[in-house]
Amino acid sequence: MKYLLMLITIVFLGCKKEAGEGGNARIYGKILEADYNSDFTVLISELPATDTYVYIKYGAKGEGFDDRVKTDYEGNFRFDFLYPGDYELYVYSRDSSFQNLSGETVVKQVVKIEGRKESVQAPTMTLFK
């Protein structure tokens, strides 16, 4: 019985958690919204992006997003209860290059959490409206 308990302990301690929910770390940050004229030659204003979805992908997982939150009235967002690992954050923006037929593009950042209880500030992302 003693050996079985030791084996179970070794297995659980040896398992490395993947990036994702369930940990004690967090990622937080801010989204800004730059309002330009129709051909992106004149900046009209730059304000916090309020009530805007911020998406997160855990590690190098497949298609789609793993979670999303909306920014508050100051453009702030937060993802809690994460394990150490690599995360991709992204928001949708108007396409200033006029390359996408949809008129939208993605603004993204990769953020790495290294510690179990780490609180990581993501670089500020600016989207075009």
Q: pLDDT at residue 62 above 80? A: no
pLDDT in tens, 13-39: 445 567 878 899 999 999 999 999 988
d(Cα 91, Cα 128) in Å, to the nearest integer?
10
Q: Where are the domains of the chain?
A: 21-128
Query: For 21-128, which CATH superfamily applies?
Result: Immunoglobulins (2.60.40.10)
- Residue 126 is predicted with a pLDDT of 97
Q: Report CA-CA distances (Å) from 119 to 25, 27, 113.
A: 6, 6, 8
Q: pLDDT at residue 122 above 60? A: yes
d(Cα 114, Cα 74) in Å, to the nearest integer?
27
